[in-house]
Amino acid sequence: MYPVKAGRKEGQMRVSREKAAENRERIVETASRMFREDGFDRVGVDAIMNAAGLTHGGFYGHFGSKDELAAEAVARALERSIEKQGRYTNLGDLVFAYLSERHRADRANGCAIVALGAGMVRRSGGARRSVTAYVRAQLDHFAGLLRSGTRASRRRRAITTLAGMVGALTLARAVDDPALSREILAAARDAFGKARPTDRRARGGRSSDGS
């Protein structure tokens, strides 16, 4: 009798731990989208938990504060961007996808730096450390996609390209003139991508927004 009860209890504890991990994942993913869509200050814990289908009271069983969640949500968004952009083997394809009208319109699932960059300056160290790691990884990736020049010149061009992409997308989202927004994206694609991507579909389910 006792061994059966002990085994049942262990099984229940395992299920509880798995459910807690699943709930935490849901909160982080939900917060990551909501923060990018509306900003840190406009999204409260209540709204995040409600959108995740969980009760407000359960939040502090997973996170000590909203700032802690924000740092993890930013890290998650940037990890997703690295995964998407890491699949590109051609810089022109990557730039064209990132500076697409589709990506411009999809804040919730797009680039976290463009969506939250100004707010991150005022966040805790966790969020900014994630941004630093992201920028370093992207610079290495971009430089690796460049086929000519010295190592130093490829790094300079990688910095220029990443900064230009982020700035162009930020500007294209900020203006209220659709024609001007499209013009900004097109000019930046030409400047940083050099050429339109090939017509082939991205391999491995590659995102079409390059975020």
pLDDT tens digit string along 9-36?
555 555 488 889 999 999 999 999 999 9
Distance of alpha carbon 72 from alpha carbon 123, whole angstroms: 12
pTM of structure = 0.80
Domain ranges in the chain are: 2-205
Identify which has the larger pLDDT, 198 or 36. Answer: 36
Find how far residue 169's CA is from the centre of its chain: 14
Domain 2-205 sits in CATH 3.40.50.720: no
Of residues 7 and 142, the one with the higher pLDDT is 142
More confident residue, 148 or 203: 148
Cite the DSSP H helix spans in the chain.
2-38, 45-51, 66-86, 91-98, 101-105, 112-120, 125-145, 151-174, 178-193
pLDDT higher at 196 or 25: 25
